[in-house]
Structure 1
Amino acid sequence: MFSDLSQSPLSKNLQRLFLLRNIAIAAQCLTFALVYWTIDIVIPWTQMIAVVTLLALLNLLTWIRLHRNWPVSHLEFFLQLLIDVMALSTLLYFSGGSTNPFISFFLLPMTIAAATLPWRYTWIMAIITITCYTLLLFNYVPLPHDHNKHLIEFALHVSGMWLAFVLSTVIIAWFVVKMSSSIRERDQDLAKAREHALRNEQIIALGTLAAGAAHELGTPLSTMAVVAGELQQEYTQDAEFQNNIHILRDQIAHCKQTLTQLLAKAGQARAEHGSELPVDVFLNQILDKWKLIRPSVKFTYQCTGDLPAPKIMDNQLLSQSLLNLLNNAADASSECIEIKSHWDNNLELKLEIIDDGKGLSAEVMQRAGEAFFSTKAPGQGFGIGLFLANANIERFGGSVRLFNLEGGGACTQVVLPLIG
């Protein structure tokens, strides 16, 4: 395994270069063995073996370097390629120069540089490889000629050119395919980062508007409370009117209490994430609160898991997110909602909210979770409940998935991490 920084594009490219160099060293050793055992010619074996040994040593240092948490720079990668060019040039110098069939291997570092490095490094590499090729046209150690073996040498030369072309083609294709895969992964990561940034901006905007609305609603509610109190004192003889005023004052008091709690919880959320509760107690508290909010909704609840139950973060945002999902299921259901919860030894809670409605349309399946997208009638929904629920649950390390059931209806599946 390489270091944590091995996921960066340049680090991945250096890993691929390390593997390619290993292949090149193995191929050079195999070529030396074939030439030594099949062709009786005298070449500077000492110098050539020394070059391959030095290249193997440098690749060992590269392997050690890849296990360190050091970022790979464009300059470092360029120098790595330059080492390969110098090693190839030296080997070709001692083995016939430009007449060597493996002279086309100069295209490999050039192609890699063009695919991975900025244009200035690519042009520098182009100048260096052209210069090395040109020098090898005139300066090299010629291979000894034996007229009796001329036909064999020519056949081997042609075979060597074919082998060089095949290897160059395969290596270039492999590297370019890997590079394209890395580019696609980078584009996907950038798209996800942009999506998260956009969602965070929408959440901040919604939070700002909610805080402003909470402050602005305080004054009208106080005015309504005063007027309702005066009306209650003025018409003391009308029993029906007193009953209606009492209900109105209770609703106003509930609204004021909700706004007060909202502002208090918002301030609390900045300082702490919440306490910890056993998951069964946490779910029962949410369902008890939901009964008060939606007393007319019928539901069944099934809870399974080993006891004592593991704990979960008791956070107001998380609780409200689950309430939003329950409300969405209640709005879609026609008769009864089925709620199932299960936790296991993997410290993971799986919560399923199953409604008996019409199911999810293709548009809803595609756009569910988008901000301000709602299938409800105008004035009955703002299209932010599922959006905020999904965002908050993901923020706590969980996930939300919506899908249709074969027998009809839809299922909202929530997965949340637990605390041991």
Structure 2
Amino acid sequence: MPLFFKRTSQIQVIIALRCIAIAIQLLLIFFVNLGLAYQLPWMPLISVIGLEVLFTLASYSYYRLNHLSENKASQKAILVQICADIIFLSLLLYFSGGATNAFVSLLLIPIAIAAVTLTPLLLAVVTVLAISSYSTLLWSLPMSVMHGNMQGHFIGMGINFLFSTMVVAIVVGKMARSINQQDLAIAAYRENLLKQEKVTSLGVASAQVTHQLATPIATVQLLADELSEDFPDNDIVIDMQSQLIRCRDSLSDFRTMVFDIKEQVIKSINCQDLFEEITDNVRFNNPEITLSLREDFNHHSAKSVSVKADAALLPAILNLINNAIRASKANDNLSMSLSSQVIDDNWQFTIRDYGKGFTLKKLNELGVKPVSSEQGFGMAVFLSHASLESLGGKLALTNHQDGGALVTLSLPISLQQTSRP
């Protein structure tokens, strides 16, 4: 069944179909007995239908009060409903002609429903039950109907039913799983498009702000130059000039990064060089932070381990580090741990802060969409997650058992000799 049906909705559909089937069963019994003057055993048939009505009412009441949201529980619930339908239908057929009943092919309907709602293993259970029911109906036929060549006829009917059940179970099940996979792929593609639209909007906004900052920074630079001429040895003026130079260099780096991203420039970068560049950046911009560093290339030569990177990789990592620093400071701690290691042909870079960690809600939302936060975690993690995905990387957010948060990014490595400057 398509993805837009929830598991509870599937059960409701099955119950609704059973209600329709009960109404049709009663009409057929009255029509055969009164219209065609064919005497059927009223008591057994009405008793079976009565049990079917009671089971339907009990199921409806139960699922109305206890909505099954977990996938495993829902699968079991649907299996119970389908098996019950097979049993009720088999009993009705048994008391109304058995395998000679013209409606015996209705046993294929539960298999078709199971093919589009259940897993292959549970579908096999339903198929075996339907085949067993039909075999029992054939076996219970009286010997009086086996005269002449009717025995061969019933054997052919059994083979035909077995073949039909296999075709329905395999073909319909495969088609349903194929449609389900296509729906999942379309949903993932749409989600990725929405994420890329958000990233593009944030990029456009960042470019506009950067362009607007260029003019006032240039103006302040001119004023600082004039002040340096009047006060060449003033520490405040010297510090102001150094900060302006940092702003100017940052704008220049941003323009270069935007150009590289636009041209989709991908280059190989040595993991040890990248790790050193990250730690140098942290020490330069946050000298008050105490860093704990760890490198483990797992028997690989440090010079040979590299990853494919674009201009957005380093800013994405620095975004995550800045978040970790803010988290540690908010918890009155000036420590942070960084590790670089190779695990299963993937370079893993781990950031551990000493803050208060992530809440369960934050763990479910961070990286999926921009999240409002007093410390600004949501936007940076969202952008970093999008940057890593474009490189085939992964981002994992967890809480450390001893406190604080763990952010682990993973990128596939390429074992090539890279020249180091």
Other-structure match for 2:278 = 286
| Aligned residue number for residue 311 of structure 1 | 306
Superimposed CA distance per residue, residues 116-174 of structure 1 (whole angstroms, 9 cap, x where no aligned partner): xxxxxxxxxxxxxxxxxxxxxxxxxxxxxxxxx97252123123324423432343134
Residue in 1 aligned with 2:209? Answer: 213
Q: Which amino acid aligns with 1:349?
A: W
Aligned residues: 274
Deviation readout 1:322-342 (Å, 9 max, x if unpaired): 111211222222342222211
Q: Determine if the alignment matches structure 1 residue 415 to structure 2 residue 410.
A: yes
Return the match for 1:168 from 153, 161, 164.
164
Q: Give 2:391's aligned residue.
A: 396
| Aligned-partner Cα distance in 1 for 2:406–2:168 | 49
Residue identity matched to 1:373:
V
- Superposition pairs of residues 8-407 of structure 1, within 5 angstroms: 151-233=147-229, 236=231, 242-271=234-263, 273-305=265-297, 306-307=300-301, 308-313=303-308, 315-333=310-328, 334-343=333-342, 346-377=344-375, 381=376, 383-407=378-402
Match of 1:48 in 2: none
Paired letter, 1:224:
V
Contact 1:354 1:409 survives alignment (8 Å): yes
Amino acid at match of 1:160: G
Root-mean-square deviation (CA, aligned residues, Å) is 3.1
Structure 1, 163-172 or 188-197: larger mean CA deviation: 163-172
In 1, the alpha carbon distance for the partners of 2:264 and 2:155 equals 72
State whether residues 302 and 341 of structure 1, in contact with CA within 8 Å, keep that contact through their aligned partners in structure 2.
yes
Q: Cα gap change, 1:258/1:201 in structure 2, threshold over 3 Å: closer, same or farther?
A: same
Distance 1:260 1:201 in 2: 25
Instruction: Judge conservation of contact 2:391–2:411 (CA < 8 Å) in 1.
Output: yes
What is the rounded CA distance, in whole Å, between the counterparts of 1:175 and 1:196 in structure 2? 31
Counterpart of 2:400, as a letter, is L
Query: 1: CA distance between counterparts of 2:314 and 2:368?
Result: 20
| Structure 2 residues without counterparts, runs of 5 or longer | 1-101, 117-144, 416-421
The answer (yes or no) to whether the contact 2:366–2:378 under 8 Å persists in 1 is no
- 2:260–2:310 CA contact under 8 A, matched in 1: no
Gaps of 5+ in 1: 1-100, 116-148
Query: Which secondary structure does the structure 2 equivalent of 1:384 belong to?
Result: helix
The sequence identity of aligned pairs, in percent, is 26
Distance, in Å, in 2 between the alignment partners of 1:150 and 1:223 is 105
For the Cα contact (< 8 Å) 2:309–2:391, is it kept in 1? Answer: no
Distance 1:320 1:168 in 2: 60
| Counterpart-to-counterpart distance in 1, 2:225 and 2:307 | 43
Give the whole-Å Cα distance in 1 for the aligned partners of 2:176 and 2:196.
30
Task: Give the superposition deviation at 1:386.
Answer: 0.9
Q: Within 2, Cα distance between the matches of 1:408 and 1:272?
A: 39
Q: Which amino acid aligns with 2:247?
A: C
Q: 1:150 to 1:419 in 2, by over 3 A?
A: closer
- TM-score (ref. length: structure 2): 0.58
C-alpha distance in 1 between matches for 2:314 and 2:269: 12
- Deviation of 1:387 after TM superposition, in Å, equals 1.1
The one-letter amino acid of 2:379's match is I
TM-score (norm 1): 0.58
Kindly tell me: are residues 150 and 162 of structure 1, through their superposed partners in 2, closer, same or farther at Cα, counting changes over 3 Å? closer
